[in-house]
Amino acid sequence: MLVPGYITQEEEATLPFFNSHDEALIWFKNKYSNNFIFTGSEMIDELKCHFYYLIINREIYEAGQNEFLTKGIITDVITYMGSYQEVQIFDDGSIHIAH
């Protein structure tokens, strides 16, 4: 079951074309504001990939983060993982959204 705010594959197919990471980031930040957070980056196939979480349920997400920081584990991983959706933005502007 999809929760409100989750980007579907159909919605992903209608995203604008982006020419760069910065252009895509501005679009996502304008649309999702502080619910779009940077989590890291790495090189993939000679392109830098920037990882972001689109926070779907902030209360569950923050509780999971807090539990991990204080206990070193997240007891309800499935619920926690449903609180966000990963978005990958490459330097060339291409996008991949985890479904």
Could you report the per-residue pLDDT of 14-67, keeping only the tens digit for each?
999 999 999 999 999 999 999 999 999 999 999 999 999 999 999 999 999 999
The 3-state DSSP class for residue 28 equals helix
User: Encoding tokens for residue 95?
Assistant: 């996008």
**Other CB atoms within 10 Å distance of the CB of residue 29:** 14
pTM above 0.85, yes or no: yes
Instruction: Identify whether the C-beta of residue 7 lies closer than 8 Å to the C-beta of residue 54.
Output: yes
Cα–Cα distance measured from residue 46 to residue 31, given in angstroms and rounded to the nearest whole number = 29
pLDDT band at 1 (very low <50, low <70, confident <90, very high): very low
Cα–Cα distance measured from residue 70 to residue 2, given in angstroms and rounded to the nearest whole number = 29
Residues in the chain: 99
